[in-house]
């Protein structure tokens, strides 16, 4: 099954210097590969437990959408954030010459997002324009599961079918001012999901389930109890999967 196509464009002079957006499924975090699939739990007397590597909803979130990635390495030092991006930015259009900008803390006044004085608000500059299909918006947020990153990208929704030749930059709170190290070229700074515009404005119906629904729910719970990986095998249609019968390599 094919999904909506997000068209990424950039200036011809930059196309060979910018890591392009990539499908999230092709750029999973290294820790997912190296982390164990099963652990022994001291709290349960040494019983064996399966880890997040066996949780299809979590894995499917990591694989959903596309990732925007850093155009150059950014290093956090005692003197602040530094980078070297020797790219000849063309001056024939209004194109930012830097891969990183800053927001003022005052812009978050009155919100729980306002950072401490030692926490900068960075803005990752996206030199790609992103166009969504007609009727779709783009949900832009922090890369799912990437809690090791020293920043948290703020979430926004852009009507990118109409704003397809505008730049969607990504503001982020630098949540770990003590972090020292380098974010390498290609590090993801935002995850982008194309969602039908109607899905961004849903209505909610809240009610008690009917007798038939209660019986169907009982069947779902019974399936999960009887079959290891019951959700994955009987109910899941993951990103890019043709159907729930397809085995997941992590199971």
Q: What would the mean pLDDT of 48-73 be, rounded to a whole number? A: 91
Confidence of residue 246 (pLDDT cuts 50, 70, 90): very low
Q: What would the mean pLDDT of 208-218 be, rounded to a whole number? A: 94
- The Cα 105–Cα 86 span in angstroms is 29
Give the containing element (helix H, strand E) for 124.
strand 121-124
Confidence of residue 250 (pLDDT cuts 50, 70, 90): very low
Q: What would the mean pLDDT of 27-43 be, rounded to a whole number? A: 86
Domains in the chain with CATH codes: 7-43+50-200 (2.70.40)
Place of tokens 């199971």: 251
Residue 92: predicted pLDDT? 66
Phi/psi for 75 (5° steps) reads: -115, 130
Q: What would the mean pLDDT of 32-51 be, rounded to a whole number? A: 81
Q: What would the mean pLDDT of 140-151 be, rounded to a whole number? A: 96
- The Cα 88–Cα 21 span in angstroms is 21
Q: What would the mean pLDDT of 237-245 be, rounded to a whole number? A: 54
- The Cα 246–Cα 232 span in angstroms is 9
Helix (H, G, I), strand (E, B) or coil at 226: helix
How do residues 66-114 score in pLDDT, each as one tens digit? 999 999 999 999 998 999 888 877 776 677 778 899 888 888 888 888 7
Q: What is the pTM of this model?
A: 0.86
- The Cα 109–Cα 192 span in angstroms is 26
Q: Which of 126, 139, 130 is nearest to 7 (CA)?
A: 130
Report the C-alpha dihedral over residues 15, 19, 21, 26, rounded to 10 degrees.
Answer: 140
Q: Is the dihedral of CA 236, 240, 242, 248 positive or negative?
A: negative
Mean residue pLDDT across the chain = 87
């Amino acid at each position: 099954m094919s999904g909506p196509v997000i068209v990424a464009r950039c200036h011809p002079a930059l196309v060979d210097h910018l890591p392009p957006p990539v499908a999230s499924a092709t750029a999973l975090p290294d820790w997912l590969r190296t982390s164990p699939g099963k652990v022994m739990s001291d709290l349960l007397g040494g019983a064996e437990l399966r880890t997040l590597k066996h949780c299809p909803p979590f894995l499917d979130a990591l694989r959903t959408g596309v990732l925007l990635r850093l155009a150059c390495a950014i290093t956090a030092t005692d003197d602040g954030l530094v980078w070297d991006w020797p790219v000849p930015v063309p001056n024939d259009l209004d194109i930012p010459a830097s891969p990183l900008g800053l927001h003022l803390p005052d812009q978050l006044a009155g919100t729980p997002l306002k950072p401490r004085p030692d926490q900068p608000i960075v803005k990752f500059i996206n030199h790609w324009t992103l166009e969504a299909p007609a009727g779709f918006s783009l949900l832009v947020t922090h890369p799912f599961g990437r809690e090791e990153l020293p920043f948290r990208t703020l979430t926004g929704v852009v009507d990118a079918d109409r704003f397809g030749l505008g730049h969607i930059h990504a503001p982020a709170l630098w949540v770990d001012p003590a972090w020292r190290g380098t974010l390498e070229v290609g590090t993801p700074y935002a995850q982008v999901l194309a969602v039908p515009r109607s899905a961004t404005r849903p209505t909610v119906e809240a009610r008690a389930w009917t007798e038939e629904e209660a019986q169907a729910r009982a069947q779902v719970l019974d399936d999960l109890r009887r079959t290891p990986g019951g959700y994955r095998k009987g109910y899941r249609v993951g990103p890019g999967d043709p159907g729930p019968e397809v085995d997941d390599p992590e199971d």
